[in-house]
Amino acid sequence: MPLLTTSVPNLSQGVSQQPDNLRYPGQGETQVNAYSSVVDGLVKRPNSRYVGTLESSAISADSLVHILNRDSTYKHILVIEPDATTVKVFDTADGSVVNVYDAETGTSAASHAYITDTNPRENLKVLTIADTTYIVNKTKTVAKATAKSDVLAKEAIVFIKQGDYSKEYTVTIDGTDKTYTTGDGSSTHDDSLGTSAGDGTDASSETIAAGIKATYDAASISGVTVTRDGSVIKLVSTNSTFTVSVRDGLSNIGLGMAYKEVTAITDLPKSCYDGFRVKVKGDVELVQDDYYVKFATKDDQDFGEGSWKEDIGYDVVKSLDATTMPIKLIPRVSDTNYKLIAPGHDVSVTNEAAWTERKVGDDDSNDFPSFTGKTITDIFFFKNRLGFLSGQNVIFSEADEYGNFFRTTVLTLLDSAPIDVGVAHTKVSLLKHAIPFQEKLVLFSPQSQFVLRGADLLTPSTVNISPITEYNVNVDVSPLALSNYIYFPFERGDFQGVYEFFVDSTTDVFDASEVTSHIPKYINKTIKQLVGTPAEDVIVATCNATGAEKQIFVYKYFWQNKEKIQSSWSRFDTTNNIIGVGFLDSELFMVTTDASNTYLEKMPMEAGVTDTGKDYSILLDNRIDSSNSYWDNDTSASVAIAKSYDSATKKTTLTNLPYDPQVSTSDPTLNAVAYTKDGT
Task: Give every residue of the chain whose pLDDT is below 50, as ranges.
Answer: 189-201
Burial class of residue 389 (count of CB atoms within 10 Å of its CB; 0-12, 13-18, 19+): buried
The answer for residues whose C-beta is within 8 angstroms of residue 335's C-beta and 6 or more apart is none
Q: Which of 47, 122, 114 is nearest to 87 (CA)?
A: 114
In angstroms, rounded to a whole number, what is the distance separating the alpha carbons of residues 410 and 366? 7
At residue 349, φ and ψ (nearest 5 deg) are -80, -45
In angstroms, rounded to a whole number, what is the distance separating the alpha carbons of residues 328 and 279? 36
CB 328 within 8 A of CB 126: no
Whether the model clears a pTM of 0.75, i.e. scores above it, the answer is: yes
Query: What single-letter DSSP state applies at residue 218?
Result: H
At residue 164, φ and ψ (nearest 5 deg) are -155, 160
DSSP 285-353: T-STT-EEEEEEEGGG-SEEEEEEEEEB-TT-B-SB-GGGS-EEEEE-SSSS-EEEE-TT--HHHH---
**Residue 426, number of CB atoms within 10 A of its CB:** 7
- Beta pairing, strands 271-273 & 244-248: unpaired
- Beta pairing, strands 480-482 & 485-492: antiparallel
Domain parsing of the chain, residue ranges = 58-119+129-148+317-350, 155-311, 356-470, 624-680
> Where are the strands (E) in 546-669, listed by range?
551-560, 563-573, 577-584, 587-593, 598-604, 629-632, 637-640, 642-646, 651-655
Q: What pLDDT, on the 0 to 100 scale, is given for residue 312?
A: 96
* Helical H segments across 362-415, by residue range: none
Q: What pLDDT, on the 0 to 100 scale, is given for residue 455?
A: 81
CB 487 within 8 A of CB 499: yes
Burial class of residue 246 (count of CB atoms within 10 Å of its CB; 0-12, 13-18, 19+): buried
Q: What pLDDT, on the 0 to 100 scale, is given for residue 324?
A: 92
Residues forming a β-bridge with 273: 303
The answer for residues whose C-beta is within 8 angstroms of residue 479's C-beta and 6 or more apart is 433, 435, 442, 444, 473, 486, 487, 488, 501, 530
User: Which helix (H) or strand (E) covers residue 634, if one does?
Assistant: none
Q: What pLDDT, on the 0 to 100 scale, is given for residue 345?
A: 58
Q: What pLDDT, on the 0 to 100 scale, is given for residue 195?
A: 44
Tell me the CA end-to-end span of the chain in Å, nearest whole number. 46
Q: Which of 533, 518, 673 is nearest to 607 (CA)?
A: 533
Q: What pLDDT, on the 0 to 100 scale, is given for residue 198?
A: 41
Q: What pLDDT, on the 0 to 100 scale, is given for residue 347?
A: 57
* Helical H segments across 107-242, by residue range: 120-123, 205-218
